[in-house]
Chains A and B, each alone.
Chain A
């Protein structure tokens, strides 16, 4: 019988939590995709060795306190304004790495103008976009990305597109703009998808270092609380309903 202490040795270490993640308890609901994406960003920052040169811009939404979880310098923006902050931070300090982290309400409703114009100017930043089709933080109201027929607290009978319009495919819109160099849609609900998302995030930061313009990484994610499902059920529902409307993969890669 081998003693556990003979196994826990530096030479046997094959995986370790990155130091870019803090020890703080996450404020996210168990099963939520936000935490997974945080971990991936932290790993990419560590692997690229850019912890001391990266500035994150946190949104208003469930990830408003993202700054508690990654050990980098952060600014917290007003609802929807993260791309404007990121624009100034990057232009004033072009040698730093700058990213915004935003939900669908933040990026595609209240902040649409800031989003489109930052992308149109080709701001040399990374925008990380968590599309969970709902306003998670405020208790599950309809988002610009809520699916047709999908119920939310402000459309309890399901989104009626004749009343509220179709959900907005903002990433496809942003891919039209010459300022974006990379627009991709990923998810973090399986191990394989987690790996793909991490690659996409790394590519986005590398694009920034190569001065290529705006990179947008959309993560279609679950909101088990807002959708009123178990985490497992929410991931199944996401595969069946969200992915057909928001197909995964690169939308633009230049």
Chain B
């Protein structure tokens, strides 16, 4: 039986990390996600599982500590919110370039700049389009509940090690702060060094006499070698796109209109669907669970059925571009969302649907 607890999304991340047998967490305080490190420090997992928890001097340092730990084949993570994640972009491109597995949580707040501590979804571009320099991708999971905050920690580590790539959990201030019932996994053991050496032979655990030295690096000075490495990365990303697309559909079977929304927007839109259906509007929702890889094929499939799509996000319109690309403009695609820290109401979404797609 899984244990049931009432907790905040941020606390669930911390609790799930300990129970998953994560080796290390490195972070720097920022609202609205400080509860992740606060929970870990209060729990003192170093006394139980041996998990290392360290408050770094900056997000630059914490993401580079993650790099160091990941290079040893350890399961390490960090969390932050938008301004801190901006500071981590250097580290993320190095992690991707060195093909290191790790988990980074962004509990997004409104920007640009220092912005606001209120929730937003305006770091979508930064997360799925690059953020740092070079041709790389972050596998991106978007939790829509406290339960998913907990569940995605272990899933993210599985994906990170399967593909040797950083994974981002793109959450927001609503999910991070809200309290819900959550079922927690049993405690799992941390990996032993023997297990790491056997399964992740690239890890820098000290050069054994029977193997060549291991080098974790992202530098390839020779252009032809760098190009070849980039081809290898691209092949990996194609495989991620083929195998790891995750989404949820709500009332899509008879839908004439489709809302596309992730994270807390998707939670709000569930209510919007109820309101709209009570008015006789046949609307369904596709909730991307992975933002990269994006559920492109499924959207194209739904495009053949619906009269229009509304991308609902707490941003000035970011994911809407990927929805348009996915359906190749075969149906009208509109964007609606409050942003800069404001959260749309279910009623506002229905109004937008009526004005932008049905009435229009």
Which residues of A does B touch, CB under 8 Å?
51-55, 57-58, 64-65, 67, 71-78, 81, 84-89, 91-93, 96, 113-114, 116-117
- Known A-B contacts A89-B204, A91-B52, A93-B72; the reply to A73 vs B213 at CB < 8 A is yes
Shortest beta-carbon distance from A55 to chain B in Å: 5
A85 and B67 form a contact (CB under 8 A): yes
Could you write out 28 A-B pairs with CB less than 8 Å apart?
Answer: A52-B208, A55-B204, A55-B206, A64-B219, A71-B213, A73-B204, A73-B215, A74-B214, A75-B67, A75-B68, A75-B98, A75-B215, A75-B217, A76-B219, A78-B91, A81-B64, A84-B62, A84-B64, A86-B68, A88-B52, A88-B67, A88-B76, A89-B69, A89-B71, A92-B24, A92-B69, A113-B61, A114-B61
With A84-B65, A114-B61, A117-B57 given, is the CB distance from A75 to B207 under 8 Å? no
Q: How far is the CB of A76 from chain B (nearest CB, A)?
A: 4
Chain B nearest CB, measured from A169 CB (Å): 21
Q: Would you list which residues of chain B between 51 and 91 have a CB under 8 Å from chain A?
A: 52, 54, 56-58, 60-62, 64-69, 71-72, 74, 76, 90-91
Q: Which of A57, A78, A92, A113 contacts B23 (CB 8 A)?
A: A92
In this complex, which of A72, A77, A78, A88 has the most chain B Cβ atoms within 10 angstroms of its Cβ?
A: A88
Q: Which residues of A contact B204 (CB under 8 A)?
A: 55, 73-75, 89
Name the distance in Å between A104's Cβ and chain B's nearest Cβ. 19
Please, which residues of chain B bring their CB within 8 A of the CB of A65?
219
Min C-beta distance of A12 to chain B, whole Å: 27
CB distance from A72 to the nearest CB of B (A): 5
The CA-CA distance from A113 to B74 in the complex, in Å, is 25
Question: Across the interface, do A67 and B217 meet the contact criterion of CB distance under 8 Å?
Answer: yes
Query: Contact between A85 and B64 (Cβ–Cβ < 8 Å)?
Result: yes
Q: Kindly list 8 other residue pairs between chains A and B, CB separation below 8 angstroms, not including A55-B72, A73-B207, A92-B76.
A: A55-B205, A75-B67, A75-B216, A77-B67, A88-B64, A92-B69, A113-B58, A114-B60
Kindly state the separation between the CA atoms of A113 and B64 in the bound complex, as whole angstroms.
12
B218 interfacial contact with A, CB 8 Å: yes
Q: For A51, A93, A114, which residue has the most chain B Cβ atoms within 10 angstroms?
A: A93
Smallest CB gap from B214: residue in A: A73
Residues on A with C-beta less than 8 A from B1 are none
The complex places the Cα of A96 from the Cα of B196 at a distance, in Å, of 15
Tell me the minimal C-beta distance from A107 to chain B in angstroms: 14
Contact yes or no, B52 A92, CB < 8 A:
yes
* A73 adjacent to B90 (CB under 8 Å): no
- A contact residues around B23 at 8 Å (CB): 92
B68 near A51 with CB under 8 A, answer no
Query: Cβ of B65 and Cβ of A85 under 8 Å apart?
Result: yes
Contact: B72 with A114, CB < 8 Å? no
Total interface residues on B, CB under 8 Å, equals 39
> How far in angstroms is the closest Cβ of chain A from B26?
7
Query: Secondary structure at chain A's binding surface: helix, strand, loop or mixed?
Result: helix
Write the nearest CB–CB distance from A210 to chain B, whole angstroms.
19
> Which of B52, B54, B61, B69 has the most chain A CB atoms closer than 10 A to its own CB?
B61
Q: State A72–B65 Cα separation when bound (angstroms).
A: 20
Q: B94 at the A/B interface (Cβ < 8 Å)?
A: yes
* Distance in Å: Cβ of B65 to nearest Cβ of chain A: 4
Q: Cα distance A100–B348 when bound, in Å?
A: 55
> With a CB–CB cut-off of 8 A, which chain B residues contact A55?
72, 204-206
Say yes or no: A84-B208 contact (C-beta < 8 A), given A74-B216, A75-B216, A113-B61.
Answer: no
Identify which of A65, A81, A84, A117 gathers the most chain B CB atoms within 10 Å of its CB. Answer: A84
B240-269 vs A: 1/0 string, CB under 8 Å? 000000000000000000000000000000
- Which chain A residues border B74 with CB–CB below 8 Å? 92
A86 CB to nearest chain B CB (Å): 7
Q: Which residue of B lies closest to A87 (CB)?
A: B65
The answer, yes or no, to whether B4 is at the interface (CB within 8 Å) is no
Please give the distance in Å from A96's CB to the nearest CB on chain B. Answer: 6
Cα–Cα, bound, A113→B28 (Å): 14
Please judge, given known A-B contacts A52-B207, A72-B207, whether A92 and B217 are in contact too, CB under 8 Å: no
Nearest chain A CB to B308 CB, angstrom units: 45
A78 touches B90 (CB 8 A): yes
User: Is B114 located at the chain interface by the 8 A CB criterion?
Assistant: no
* Complexed CA–CA distance, A58 and B207 (Å): 16
Other-chain contact of A92, B72, B90, B216 (Cβ < 8 Å): B72
Judged by a CB distance under 8 angstroms, whether B209 is at the interface is yes
